[in-house]
Amino acid sequence: MSEPTAKTGGPVHVLLVEDNDGDAELIRESLTGRYNRVVFDRVERVETALQRISETPVDVVLLDLTLPDSSGLAGLVRLRAAAPAVALVVLTGTTDDQLGQRALLLGAQDFLQKGEVDGASLDRALRHARTRQDYLDRTRQLAEESAGRVIAEAAHRRSQWLADAGKRLSASVDEAATLASFYSVVVPDFCEKCSLHLDPSGGNTNVVLLDPGLLDAYRSGKTIDDASLSIGASVSVPLTVAGRVFGAVKFEWSTPQDHLVVLLAEDLALRVAMAIDNARLYGAAQAAILVRDDFLSIASHELRTPLATLEMLAHLMEQELCAGTVSNAQLSERVRRIGTQTHRMGQMIGVLLDASMITSGQLNMFPEPLDLVAVIRGTLETFKTAADAARCDLALEGDDRIDGEWDRLRMEQVFANLITNALKYGPGQPVRVVVERSGADVTVSVTDGGRGIRSEDHERVFDRFQRGAGTGKIPGLGLGLYVTRQIVVAHGGSIAVLASSTTGTSFGLRLPLTVKASA
């Protein structure tokens, strides 16, 4: 049996596109052991194969359908479009004859199941591939002579249209404007109908259609091609950036389409994915800048007041000491006020650091066996002086002891924040804390007699730098409840405003008895 040769009579150059070392070695041995005039080359990606074909003459490509940068028939379509004169044999690990038939329809000359690859089957595939490719080459040459100009013009129009589509999609960094541009670009110039599914966790959008084709493309990360259906056509393409799938787009036509629309659909999907991702990145950057500006503005404003007081007291003490006009009682009062302001600044800095740790994901939990009632009782004791100054009675009710595992410092911080709020916003009114065990959880309520929180602000007060209405003259960073909720959530619990009116507010916590330690 004669060896397969290239058209020139020289050795046939075979390029294997396969990422599995074992399969590649089996094919290499089958070829080199059977023929002396076969030049064998191997790459692991379609992108590398395209580059190799552009640099080196190749007679036959053996293409695996499951590769790192291509899955299914997408790699075949790309190779066929880039190198129509190269014979192409598909290697598949499945026994799906329909897949093989689709591969032939898309331009493959033959297909082999990997488990059946041996010298004889490769010999047959190579010979058939060359024969079929020779026939296709002659047919194509005749067609190109009569229709070359038409094809070139069509390709030029497609290229211009894609370039224009890219410009229109990237004209704005606003996500809503980008989506609007996308729809105006593709309908009706490219398709008759278009649907979009975006992962809601990736950004803000109101376009969510639970279409099966969209969800299949989104979940699998692969193009779903129904372009040759007799009743019409559709192509669903995942929206992917840097290997991350965050949505999918579906193009539909009322008539069948050729495989070129798949390539265009994938090209369009790549452009819209990049445009949406850029818009989201810009939006996230703007939001981060606003948070930073809010942080700096609020921090500088709130820290300026105690700092100014400290500066004034230090200057006053210096003058009085130099003049010898200050008594021991007056000096003691000045020192006490300096200590108060220093403590206040320390608390503010601590809250700001906690907020920063939460934002960076570094709020670690170190649980230990605790009696939660004792922790709350101890926190109330530390606030006795402040409560007396605010004319507030502190009361603890419920169970006498509840044992569990929590982070002691963080739990003290949670209840200190809630008691501080109660004293700050409800001076002269009682503060009631109720703690009870409920199954595998602990429930705690902290109720004050203050001005209350509007119902529309019940959730907003737990956000960063947010405070209830009418609190502008009361000092605060708007971070206490934000940090409190993050600590509670980190313990696996929840916190909410249970009730609020003009005569008081009640916060409710639910905590599991145990919490896992941070890694």
The reported pLDDT for the residue numbered 8 is 45
User: Is residue 371 classed as helix, strand or coil in its secondary structure?
Assistant: strand
Global pTM reads 0.42
Mean of the pLDDT values across residues 357-374?
79
The reported pLDDT for the residue numbered 206 is 42
Q: Where are the alpha helices (DSSP H) in 170-211?
A: 175-186
Give me 196's structure tokens.
Answer: 């979009």
Burial bucket for residue 392 (CB in 10 Å: 0-12, 13-18, 19+): buried
d(CA 11, CA 15) in angstroms, rounded, equals 13
d(CA 64, CA 90) in angstroms, rounded, equals 6
**Residue 440 dihedral angles phi and psi, to the nearest 5°:** -90, 10
* DSSP code, position 4: P
Name the CA radius of gyration of the chain, rounded: 36
d(CA 173, CA 169) in angstroms, rounded, equals 9
* Concatenated DSSP letters of 127-172: HHHHHHHHHHHHHHHHHHHHHHHHHHHHHHHHHHHHHHHHHHHTS-
Mean of the pLDDT values across residues 146-157?
59
Q: Please give the single-letter amino acid code of residue 433.
A: V
Mean of the pLDDT values across residues 454-479?
66
Is the model more confident about 287 or about 418? 418
Asked if 238 and 217 count as a contact pair (C-beta separation under 8 A), the reply is yes
The reported pLDDT for the residue numbered 444 is 95
**Confidence bin at 43 (pLDDT 50/70/90):** very high
The reported pLDDT for the residue numbered 228 is 59
Beta pairing, strands 244-253 & 193-198? antiparallel
What pLDDT digit, counting tens, does each position of 382-417 carry? 888 888 888 999 999 999 999 999 988 888 888 988
Mean of the pLDDT values across residues 27-35?
71
The reported pLDDT for the residue numbered 268 is 86
What pLDDT digit, counting tens, does each position of 84-115 carry? 878 888 888 777 778 878 888 888 878 888 76
As a whole-number percent, the residues of the chain with pLDDT over 70 amount to: 75
pLDDT at 371 over 90: yes
The reported pLDDT for the residue numbered 404 is 94
The reported pLDDT for the residue numbered 511 is 94
Of the segments 245-254, 318-327, 341-350, 352-361, which one has the largest average pLDDT value?
Answer: 245-254
pLDDT at 241 over 80: yes
Mean of the pLDDT values across residues 69-82?
87
Q: Which helix (H) or strand (E) segment is 437 a member of? A: strand 431-438
pLDDT at 263 over 80: yes
Give me 130's structure tokens.
Answer: 């060359």
User: Is residue 24 classed as helix, strand or coil in its secondary structure?
Assistant: helix
Give me 390's structure tokens.
Answer: 């605010």
User: Is residue 8 classed as helix, strand or coil in its secondary structure?
Assistant: coil
* DSSP code, position 467: -
Of the segments 114-128, 130-144, 267-281, 438-452, which one has the largest average pLDDT value?
Answer: 438-452
The reported pLDDT for the residue numbered 203 is 43
The reported pLDDT for the residue numbered 362 is 62
The reported pLDDT for the residue numbered 416 is 84
Is the model more confident about 157 or about 450? 450
Burial bucket for residue 406 (CB in 10 Å: 0-12, 13-18, 19+): buried
What is the CA 378 to chain-centroid distance, rounded? 42
Q: Please give the single-letter amino acid code of residue 301.
A: H
Mean pLDDT (the chain) is 78
| Cis preceding-peptide flag for 212 (omega within 30 of 0) | no
